[in-house]
Amino acid sequence: MLAPLRVGIAGLGTVGGSVLRRLVAQRALLAQRTGRDITVTAVSARDRAKPRDLDLADLHWFDDPVAMAKSDEIDLFVELIGGSEGPAKAAVEAALQSGKPVVTANKALLAHHGMALARLAEERHAALAFEASVAGGIPIVKTLREGLAGNQVERVQGILNGTCNYILTRMEDEGLAFADCLAEAQRLGYAEADPTFDVDGFDTAHKLAILATLAFGVALDIESLHIEGIRAITPADLKAADELGYRIKLLGIAQRVGTRIDGRVHPTMVPKTSALAQVGGVINAVTVFADAVRELTLIGPGAGGEATASAVVADVADIARGVRSAPLGLPVAVLEQADTLPLRDHAGGYYIRLSVRDTPGAVAAIAARMAERSISFESVVQRHPPRRDPGSSGTVPVVLVTYRTVESALQTALDAVVADGYIAEAPQVIRIERE
Amino acid sequence: MLAPLRVGIAGLGTVGGSVLRRLVAQRALLAQRTGRDITVTAVSARDRAKPRDLDLADLHWFDDPVAMAKSDEIDLFVELIGGSEGPAKAAVEAALQSGKPVVTANKALLAHHGMALARLAEERHAALAFEASVAGGIPIVKTLREGLAGNQVERVQGILNGTCNYILTRMEDEGLAFADCLAEAQRLGYAEADPTFDVDGFDTAHKLAILATLAFGVALDIESLHIEGIRAITPADLKAADELGYRIKLLGIAQRVGTRIDGRVHPTMVPKTSALAQVGGVINAVTVFADAVRELTLIGPGAGGEATASAVVADVADIARGVRSAPLGLPVAVLEQADTLPLRDHAGGYYIRLSVRDTPGAVAAIAARMAERSISFESVVQRHPPRRDPGSSGTVPVVLVTYRTVESALQTALDAVVADGYIAEAPQVIRIERE
C-alpha cells in the first residue's frame, strides 16, 4: 500500500468543518475505495480560539495558510478560505509551487486566476481539483472532464445559483414580489445581507466561466460573459410565462456558435416540460448538450456544507487514487482563445411585456415598428384590465412572444417604440430558450 | 509522453462501430485530454465479409476475439460482443488473465460474472471498466464510484430500461393498452422481437445489481432481487395514478434497510413532482440518496450506439489517464455479503385496484379484511360506472391507497378478500415510493 496521503485543510467554516468530519469518519472506507490511507494532519484558520464543534487536538495548527501550504507535514492542500485574492490565492500558489496537489471550492479564485493556477499546476505536475466550485454536490466538473471525454460539447446550461432559484420559485408559487422573497431568503440564510453577488448574476457567471472552459476547451474568461440578474423580474412576468407554457429561471448558458462562444447569464424562459423547469427552490441543475449523449441533465444540491464537502472529498479521493488530468480539461497551452459572440448577435425567441398607453393606434404603431425590423410574433396577448381597476391608470399590458429574432434588431425596434411615446414604462424583455 | 494506448475492439455492431469512429475522429482531442495517444489497432467480429460503413483497412482483423484479447498487438480490450457466456466471457477473461485492461458494455456479463471478473482484474492489476453497461450515456458508474466517494449511499433508484419507459409513457399519454404500445415499440426498433428481457424487468435487474454493488459495497447478487415487469399495467391504472397525483414507472430500487439490502424491480407509483416522474420516452434516469448530497439525479440517454459509445470512450480515456479503481468500487475481498430484505418485509404505501362485485356489503367486507391486518387508507375511490355502460357487468372499480403497510400483511388481507368472493378479478397491486 502507498504511504498515507496527509491532508491540510485551510478554512474551518461550514464546508471546512464538514470536510474534516467526513474525512475522519470515513477514513477506513476511503482507504478501501482509493487504495490509500487519507489522513488529515494539519488545519489553518483565522482564529484558533474560536469555539468549533471539531476535534483538532491531534492536528498541527497553522495561523498562516501559506505556511501550511509549504509545510512538509502535508501532501495535499485543501483551500476553503474563499475570496479571489489574499490568503486563498497566496496559499494555493504556494502549495502548487511546492508541487503539492490542491483541492479548492473557490469559484471566484478559479474564475479570475484559473488560467495562471492551472499553468502553475501543470508545470509542477500537481493536481488542481475544484469540483466543489461549481454546483456544489453535483459532479459536473468530473462529468465534463472525464464522463463526456468522448464527446464534442455543443452547449451547457444550468441553474447554478440556489438563492436566485429559491427567489424565483417563491415568486412564482405565491405571486410575491422580488423584494419580499429576497427578504425571506435572507431571513432563512439562503441569501447574504449584501445579495448583489447572487441576485445580480455574478455567482452564476463565475461558475459558467469554469463550465465553458471545461466544455469547449477555451480560455477561461469571465469578462466576456454577458451578465444580468433577476431584480427586474416581476410577478406579472412569472404569470405571463406560466400562461405561455414557460417558467423563468436564471440560467448560465454557454454554447458554440460557429467559431464563437456565446456565454451569458440572464433570466430565461424555459418550457415547463424541460428538465430545468422542474428544478425548484435552492436546488441546482446543469444540462449538457453534446454530440454523442445528446442531452444529459444533473440535478442536485448547489450549496450547503455537506453537499460541498461531498465534492471536496471526491476530489481528495481522486488524488489519492492517482488520477492525473489537466486541471482545465486540456493543457492550458492548447486552450483556444475563442471569439465571443456579442449579445447583439444573439438570435432566439423573446418575451416582451409592454405597458401600452390606452391610445387609439398604439398597438398598431408598435407592431409596425417591429415589422420594420422583420420581427414576427408567435403570440400577442393584449388584455384590457377591468375599467374599474384602480391600478389600470390608462395603460394596457401587452405581452409579445417573437419568433427567432436577432437581438440587435429587437433592440432597435424597441428603441423606436420607446421614442414613439406609446409605452409608459421601459419594455421588459426576457430571452426564451426552447431547448 | 507515454507510449500510445493500442485498443482492440471486439464486436462491430452499432455500438462497436460508433466507438471505432469516435476513437478515430477524436484521436487528437483525446490525446490532449488524457495525455496519451489512443489508437485502435485491431478489431474482431463474427463475419469479416459483412458490409460495414467502417474503414478497417489499417486494422488487424481477428476472427477470434480470444486471440485478439491475448494478442501483443493491443494494450486494451473493448468487449462489445454481448451475452453473459460464450466468446464475450472467454475473451474478457483472456484479456484480464494477460494483464490487459478491459472496457465492456455488457451488463449481463457483469451481473452474472462481475465478482469473478473483478477478482481476476484485481489479481492482474488490470482495469475493468463498464460505464456503458448501466444507463447508456449517463455516467452513473463514475458518479457512484468516484463522484460520491465521500458519501454513504442510502438508496439508489432509477428508470433503467428505455423500452419499458417508452411503453408506459405512450400508454399514459394516449390511453393505449400494453400490447398495442409494445407492438409500436417493436415497429420503431425500441423493443426486441422477444421483448421478455426488457418488459419483464430482467434488463433493469441486471443494471440494478451492478448499481447496488457500487452504491453499498455489497457482493453482486442478481439472484436476490425481486423482479416484476410491466405487462400487467393497464390504462385504468395509469388513469387512476394520474388522478391520485402519481405516474407509474418501472423502477429498479436498492436501499439499505438496517443491515439488509432491499433490492427490487417493479412498476412503481412516483409523485408527479418527483424528478423521475418527469422522465418520458426512452430516456433513463437515476436518483441517488446519500448522506452528504442528499439527492442527486442524472437524466440522459439509456441506449443507442452513440450514447453507449460515449460511455465506452470515457472508460478508455480514464484508462489512458492511468486511473486505477477497484472495478466494483471496493476490493472484492471486502465486499459485504449482505442479507436480503425479503419482499414480504417491505413496508410502504400501496395502490390497490379491485373489481368489486356490485353486491350490498362488498366494500364493507373488504374494508373489514384490511382492518383485521391494521391496514388503513389514505384514499378510497369507488366510482359506480354509468348503469347504461355495457362494460360494467355488475362490478364496481375501487381504488385504495394505503398508508405505510408491510407487504406480508397486505398479501394476507388480499388473500382473504379473494377467498370471500367479493371481487371479480385478481387484485392489481402497485407499490408507491413517495421519495
Query: What CATH number does residue A191 fall under?
Result: 3.30.360.10
Residues B128 and B161 in one domain: no
Residues of A with CB below 8 A from B293's CB?
137-138, 300-301, 306-307, 310
Concerning whether A239 is annotated as a catalytic residue, the answer is no
Query: Is residue A355 one of the residues assigned to a domain?
Result: yes
Residues A194 and A119 in one domain: no
Chain A residue with minimal CA distance to B141?
Answer: A147
Residues of A with CB below 8 A from B152's CB?
26, 29
pLDDT tens, residue by residue, B211-266 = 999 999 999 889 999 999 999 999 999 999 999 999 999 999 999 999 999 999 99
pLDDT, residue B393, reads 66
Give the three-state DSSP class for B368: helix
- Domain boundary pick from B244, B274, B301: B301
Residues A87 and A60 in one domain: yes
At residue B388, does pLDDT exceed 60? Answer: no
**What is the arithmetic mean of pLDDT over B86-97?**
98
In angstroms, what CA-CA distances link B90 with B6, B87, B96?
A: 20, 5, 10
pLDDT, residue A323, reads 80
At residue B391, does pLDDT exceed 60? Answer: no
Candidate from A33, A145, A297 with C-beta closest to B299: A297
Given an 8 Å threshold on Cβ–Cβ distance, is B290 in contact with A310?
A: yes
- Walk across the sheet containing A102-104 and list its strands: A60-62, A38-44, A5-10, A76-79, A102-104, A128-129
pLDDT, residue A358, reads 87
pLDDT, residue A385, reads 64
In angstroms, what CA-CA distances link B418 with A308, B260, B350, B363, B365?
A: 53, 32, 17, 13, 11
Q: How confident is the model at residue B281 (pLDDT cuts 50, 70, 90)?
A: very high
Q: How far is B72 from chain A (nearest CA, A)?
A: 25
Query: Is residue B328 one of the residues assigned to a domain?
Result: no
pLDDT, residue A390, reads 52
pLDDT, residue B386, reads 60
Residues A277 and A295 in one domain: yes
Mutate to test the interface with B, among A5, A297, A335 (most CBs of B within 10 A): A297
Given an 8 Å threshold on Cβ–Cβ distance, is B299 in contact with A301?
A: no
Residues A251 and A400 in one domain: no
Averaged confidence pLDDT in chain B = 94
Residues B150 and B293 in one domain: yes
**What is the arithmetic mean of pLDDT over B50-75?**
95
Q: How far is B165 from chain A (nearest CA, A)?
A: 16
Residues A74 and A147 in one domain: no
pLDDT, residue A267, reads 98
At residue A341, does pLDDT exceed 90? Answer: yes
Query: Is residue A56 one of the residues assigned to a domain?
Result: yes
Query: Is residue A317 one of the residues assigned to a domain?
Result: no
Averaged confidence pLDDT in chain A = 94
Residues B59 and B165 in one domain: no
At residue B322, does pLDDT exceed 80? Answer: yes
Candidate from A23, A29, A300 with C-beta closest to B296: A300
Q: How far is B369 from chain A (nearest CA, A)?
A: 41
Chain A residue with minimal CA distance to B32?
Answer: A330
Chain B residue with minimal CA distance to A318?
Answer: B146
Catalytic entry in B100, B142, B207, B249: B207
Given an 8 Å threshold on Cβ–Cβ distance, is B310 in contact with A299?
A: no
Beta bridge pairs of residue A267: A250
Given an 8 Å threshold on Cβ–Cβ distance, is A314 in contact with B278?
A: no
pLDDT, residue A412, reads 96
Residues A358 and A214 in one domain: no
Given an 8 Å threshold on Cβ–Cβ distance, is B150 in contact with A300?
A: no
**What is the arithmetic mean of pLDDT over B65-82?**
97
pLDDT tens, residue by residue, B100-118 = 999 999 999 999 999 999 9
- Measure CA of the first residue to CA of the last residue in chain A; give whole Å: 49
pLDDT tens, residue by residue, A29-47 = 999 999 999 999 999 999 9
Q: How far is A347 from chain B (nearest CA, A)?
A: 27
Given an 8 Å threshold on Cβ–Cβ distance, is A296 in contact with B300?
A: yes
- Measure CA of the first residue to CA of the last residue in chain B; give whole Å: 49
Q: Give the Cα separation of A180 and A234 in Å (integer).
A: 11
Highest average pLDDT, of A177-181, B271-275, B382-386, comes from A177-181
pTM: predicted TM-score of the whole model, two decimal places: 0.95
**What is the arithmetic mean of pLDDT over B152-157?**
97
pLDDT tens, residue by residue, A111-122 = 999 999 999 999
Given an 8 Å threshold on Cβ–Cβ distance, is B295 in contact with A301?
A: yes
pLDDT, residue B389, reads 55
- Expressed as residue numbers, the domain containing B355 is 344-432
Other C-beta atoms closer than 10 Å to the C-beta of A58 total: 9
Q: Give the Cα separation of A71 and A94 in Å (integer).
A: 10
Given an 8 Å threshold on Cβ–Cβ distance, is A292 in contact with B316?
A: no
In total, how many domains does chain B have?
3
- Domain boundary pick from B133, B156, B179: B133
Q: How far is A152 from chain B (nearest CA, A)?
A: 9
CATH number of B60's domain: 3.40.50.720
Chain B residue with minimal CA distance to A33?
Answer: B330
Given an 8 Å threshold on Cβ–Cβ distance, is B297 in contact with A300?
A: yes
Catalytic entry in A89, A107, A207, A249: A207
Residues A180 and A120 in one domain: no
Residues of A with CB below 8 A from B334's CB?
32
At residue A170, does pLDDT exceed 80? Answer: yes
pLDDT, residue B383, reads 77
Residues B71 and B212 in one domain: no
Candidate from B273, B292, B309 with C-beta closest to A22: B292
pLDDT, residue A393, reads 66
pLDDT, residue A82, reads 94
**What is the arithmetic mean of pLDDT over B325-333?**
94
ipTM tops the 0.85 cut:
yes
Query: Is residue A339 one of the residues assigned to a domain?
Result: no
| Residue A193: exposure state from Cβ atoms within 10 A (0-12, 13-18, ≥19) | exposed
pLDDT tens, residue by residue, A356-392 = 998 888 989 999 999 999 999 999 988 776 655 555 5
Chain A residue with minimal CA distance to B273?
Answer: A278
Chain B residue with minimal CA distance to A15?
Answer: B292
Chain A residue with minimal CA distance to B291?
Answer: A306
pLDDT, residue A191, reads 87
pLDDT, residue A389, reads 55
Candidate from A278, A297, A317 with C-beta closest to B146: A317
CATH number of B366's domain: 3.30.70.260
Given an 8 Å threshold on Cβ–Cβ distance, is B301 in contact with A290?
A: no
Query: Is residue B329 one of the residues assigned to a domain?
Result: no
Task: Return the residue matching grid coordinates 423502477.
Answer: B251
Closest by alpha carbon to A342, among A262, A253, A411, A251? A262
Q: How far is A56 from chain B (nearest CA, A)?
A: 20
Q: How far is A391 from chain B (nearest CA, A)?
A: 36
Query: Is residue A312 one of the residues assigned to a domain?
Result: no
Q: State the count of interchain CB pairs (< 8 A) between A and B.
A: 195
- Domain boundary pick from B133, B161, B190: B133
Task: Return the residue matching grid coordinates 492525473.
Answer: A324
pLDDT, residue A324, reads 79
Residues B128 and B27 in one domain: yes
Residues of B with CB below 8 A from A151's CB?
310
Query: Is residue B190 one of the residues assigned to a domain?
Result: yes
